[in-house]
Structure formats: structure tokens, C-alpha cells
Amino acid sequence: MQSKASLALAGSLVVLLAGCAGQTTDPRQGGLFSYNPDAYNQRLQERQSHLSQVEQDNRVAEDQALSLESERTAREKENSILRAKIKKLSASAARLEKDIKAKEALDCIRALLTPTCWRTWRPTLRCASPTL
């Protein structure tokens, strides 16, 4: 009788343990009795594959960052060249404006000195001379 009871207890334990084992492939969830080396190797392979993909994505992102940095440097250089050209053009325009004003003043003086201009002369900023 005692051997039947121990056999029944052992059978119950095996059934109970078999029911708990193998339900999950995650060793953190399955416990000691659900250890499955094939599932462990599969999870390890999946994680290594994911790591390889993340590393590849990082390399692509780093290459893009280097490319963008190079492009930014080139555009900054072009920007500084264009700013220098604008500065030269502004100085040239200021000189031309000054030359134009000086020539206008000289033309007004010449026109005032001619006898025909005395008849049409008006005290304004610009000379009323027909030669302008």
C-alpha cells in the first residue's frame, strides 16, 4: 500500500512538473524546470541579430552625421565668401554713389556758370540745367 501511495505521489509530481515545464521560452519567466537550451540559443541568436541591426543603424547614422557636417562646413565657407562679396559690393556702391553726387554737384556748378542757366535756375537740391 505504501508503495502504491508513493507511486501515486511520484506520478502526481511528474504530471504537475510536466505541466509547468516548457510553457515559455523566456528563462526569466519559466523558472528552473522550464530550462530549454534550444530556446536559449534561439533567444541568444535573436538578440545578436538585433544587436547587429542596431550597430548597422548606428554606422549609417554616423555616416550621415559626417556627411551633414561636411555639407554644413562647405555651406559656411560659401556663406562667408558671399558675405565678403556683399561687403565689397556695398563699398563699391557707396563709392559710386559718392562719385555720382560729386559729378551732379560739379554739373550744377558748371550749369550755374553758363549764361543760359541763369534764366532757368531754381534754388533746389538739383540743378535745373538742361545738360543733366
| Residue 37 confidence (pLDDT) | 78
Q: Would you write out the chain's pLDDT as a tens digit for each of its 132 residues?
A: 567 667 666 666 665 555 555 556 666 666 666 677 788 889 899 999 999 999 999 999 999 999 999 999 999 999 999 999 999 999 999 999 999 999 988 888 877 777 655 555 555 555 555 554
d(CA 103, CA 129): 13
* 118: number of Cβ within 10 Å: 10
**CA gap 132, 111 in Å, rounded:** 9
Widest Cα–Cα separation across the chain = 151
d(CA 45, CA 76): 46
Q: What is the pTM of this model?
A: 0.47
Residue 132: predicted pLDDT: 46
Helix, strand, or coil (residue 8): helix
Domain boundaries, the chain: 8-120
